[in-house]
């Protein structure tokens, strides 16, 4: 084996998130210690209060340090590559689900299968089959629309689904 052959170009070692996981494991262990110590105490006198306090303070200090390190070295400065994400959504076969109320189950299934076989986007296939206009597709596939509860009446026009607020009892 050649020296350095196991190196992976472009690999980033996620050591800080791994350390945060280790901190979480330690906190879980400390929680077990606190639980056992609290349970083993007799009456109002608990001889195990020192280990309870030690475990709690250790957990809080490690969690604070881990959260601050994660925030400053991993989270701060993260930005979304919107164009890459948009292409991913557009190339996703899953978006056909959002079109189901507008183009029907049979068409949606056919589009999904064809997209899987050909690698074409759902968007392009729907346009090619003239099932919806580009304006309708753009309206239906807006992230703001896709993430909002909607109702679809029997006569809902393509791209014109009414947004409704669902109460807690309606979600079930």
Between the alpha carbon of residue 5 and those of residues 2, 8, 9, 45, 61, the distances in Å are 5, 8, 10, 61, 40
23, 62 Cβ separation under 8 angstroms: yes
140, 132 Cβ separation under 8 angstroms: yes
What CA–CA distance (Å, rounded) separates 131 from 146?
A: 19
Return the pLDDT at 164.
39
- Residues marked as catalytic: 5
Nearest to 99 by CA among 91, 111, 89, 88: 111
SS3 150: strand
Query: How sure is the predictor about 22, in pLDDT bands with cuts at 50, 70 and 90?
Result: very high
Residue with tokens 């079930």: 172
Of all residues in the chain, the percent with pLDDT exceeding 90 is 56
Query: How sure is the predictor about 155, in pLDDT bands with cuts at 50, 70 and 90?
Result: low
Return the pLDDT at 6.
58
pLDDT in tens, 57-97: 999 999 999 999 999 999 999 999 988 987 887 788 988 99
pLDDT in tens, 119-150: 999 999 999 999 999 999 988 888 777 787 87
140, 158 Cβ separation under 8 angstroms: yes
Beta bridge partners of 151: 162
What CA–CA distance (Å, rounded) separates 106 from 103?
A: 8
Q: What pTM does this model have? A: 0.51
Return the pLDDT at 167.
35
Tokens of 164: 């409704």
Return the pLDDT at 162.
47
């Amino acid at each position: 084996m050649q020296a350095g052959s196991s190196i992976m170009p472009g690999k980033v070692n996620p050591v800080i998130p791994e350390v945060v996981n280790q901190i979480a494991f330690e906190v879980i262990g400390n929680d077990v210690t606190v639980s056992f110590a609290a349970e083993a105490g007799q009456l109002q006198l608990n001889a195990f209060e020192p280990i309870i306090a030690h475990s709690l303070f250790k957990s809080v200090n490690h969690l604070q340090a881990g959260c601050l390190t994660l925030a400053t070295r991993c989270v701060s400065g993260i930005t979304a590559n919107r164009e890459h994400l948009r292409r991913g959504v557009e190339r996703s076969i899953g978006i056909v689900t959002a079109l189901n109320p507008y183009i029907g189950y049979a068409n949606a299934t056919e589009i999904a299968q064809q997209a899987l076989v050909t690698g074409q986007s759902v968007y392009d296939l729907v346009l090619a089959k003239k099932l919806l206009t580009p304006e309708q597709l753009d309206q239906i596939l807006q992230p703001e629309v896709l993430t909002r509860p909607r109702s679809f009446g029997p006569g809902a026009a393509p791209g014109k689904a009414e947004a409704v607020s669902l109460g807690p009892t309606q979600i079930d």
